[in-house]
Amino acid sequence: MKDTVTSSLPPPPDYNESQVPPASAAAAAAAANPNPTSYYQSEETRDFIPDDFKYSVTVTSCEPRIRRWFMRKVYTLLSCQLVSSFAFCFWVSRSPKIQDAIYRHQVLYVLVALAGLVSCVWLTLAPRASDYDEEYSGLTSETQETQGTATRPASRQPWYCLSYRGQLILLAFFTLCEAYTLSLVTLVYDPRTILSALFITGTVVVGITAMALSDRFETTVTASNTIYYWLNLAMWLLIGIGFSSIFFGMNAKVDLLYSWLGAAVFTVYLFIDTQLIFRKVYPDEEIRCAMMLYLDIINLFLYILRILGRNRED
């Protein structure tokens, strides 16, 4: 009996971008299939789903292959950022001439740090170009309905709205600025301490990423706003302590406590951001997501490096 019902099932409807299956065809298919739960669709048979449903929703609502594609793009960009940053630091550590140039031009360090901050804020707050395309597309359809004929107006995007190529260029510039500032920090520590910090950071990143991507911790996203509230408070506390140490100094115990607090804060940041980029963003925002994870990992590395450096001094 089961084989007879399965053999009578219609094949998946063919889909193309210019033709959507009519409602009558869907009703006929439903009438011919009284037991839809016995019909299995593989990933290949779901190709008739419109592209609007694949790319106009968050990553977690897309097809599995779209989620895998997005994950590959995010971690490819993140790997390129991390490898290029630490490669630049290694090159600086092996070149005494570049070290002398960096030490002589301390003003350049401040300018590069400010440029990295501006590029980070720009990438974070820049609106999506597709939002303006959808807005003008809606205006065009309304004009065509009211006036009969109309031409599509030019998409008047603001100057701060970046194209995909512009985002890649700005991300590369931001990574270069961070690599320059990171190279000056790593020159203070010996190579053995830096390698230990790299190993610990890599272990933490792999473990936290595996936990964040697990379905067991999926419900954590619902409480992300509350967690982010406390994380932001802790972040401002770290910023305040850091600025006060510039003018008043910091003893060894406070510095060690400050480093452990920073490492804990950015570990939680890494966990929450890893969940949010796959469950709260769109499939075309991989550049912004890679930058978020890059900042979390770099700050975690710096605080772990500070902890190891303080322990070796003691």
23 and 57 share one domain? no
Taking alpha carbons only, the member of 294, 304, 308 closest to residue 85 is 294
Calpha distance 257→13 (Å, rounded): 62
40 and 183 share one domain? no
93 and 38 share one domain? no
Is 305 in contact with 194 (CB distance < 8 Å)? Answer: yes
| 248 assigned to some structural domain | yes
**What is the reported pLDDT for 187?**
84
| 150 assigned to some structural domain | no
209 and 71 share one domain? yes
Beta bridge partners of 16: 19
61 and 27 share one domain? no
90 and 220 share one domain? yes
Is 288 in contact with 119 (CB distance < 8 Å)? Answer: no
- Give the burial class of 181: count Cβ atoms within 10 A of its Cβ; 0-12 exposed, 13-18 middle, 19 or more buried: middle
**What is the reported pLDDT for 82?**
94
23 and 107 share one domain? no
* Residue 37 DSSP one-character state: G
> How many residues belong to the chain?
314
Both tokens of 184, joined, read: 């000056």
**What is the reported pLDDT for 188?**
85
Calpha distance 227→270 (Å, rounded): 12
65 and 85 share one domain? yes
| 242 assigned to some structural domain | yes
Count of Cβ atoms closer than 10 Å to residue 99 Cβ: 15
**The pTM of the whole model exceeds 0.85:** no
How many domains are contained in the chain?
A: 2
11 and 81 share one domain? no
Calpha distance 9→3 (Å, rounded): 10
Virtual torsion, Cα 126, 109, 236, 245, nearest 10 deg: -170
169 and 242 share one domain? yes
| 135 assigned to some structural domain | no
| 147 assigned to some structural domain | no
Across the chain, where does the E strand assignment appear?
none
Is 271 in contact with 208 (CB distance < 8 Å)? Answer: yes
| 178 assigned to some structural domain | yes
| 131 assigned to some structural domain | no
| 64-93 vs 252-279: helix crossing angle, rounded to 10 | 150
Non-local (6+) Cβ contacts of 208 within 8 A are 267, 270, 271, 274
**What is the reported pLDDT for 101?**
86
Calpha distance 70→66 (Å, rounded): 6
What are the helix (H) ranges across 148-213? 164-186, 191-212
Is 92 in contact with 187 (CB distance < 8 Å)? Answer: yes
| 103 assigned to some structural domain | yes
Is 184 in contact with 110 (CB distance < 8 Å)? Answer: no
What are the helix (H) ranges across 94-128? 96-104, 106-125
- Mapped onto helix, strand or coil, the DSSP state of residue 14 is coil
115 and 31 share one domain? no
- Domain with 22, as residue range(s), is 2-46
Residue-wise pLDDT tens for the chain (314 aa)? 545 545 555 565 554 545 545 545 544 545 555 554 444 444 444 444 445 444 557 777 777 788 788 888 999 999 999 999 999 999 998 888 888 888 888 888 889 999 999 999 998 887 766 666 555 444 444 444 455 444 444 456 777 777 888 889 999 999 999 999 999 888 888 888 889 999 999 999 998 888 877 766 555 555 556 676 777 788 888 888 877 777 777 777 888 888 898 899 899 889 888 887 777 777 788 898 999 999 999 999 999 998 988 776 65
Both tokens of 94, joined, read: 């092996």
66 and 24 share one domain? no
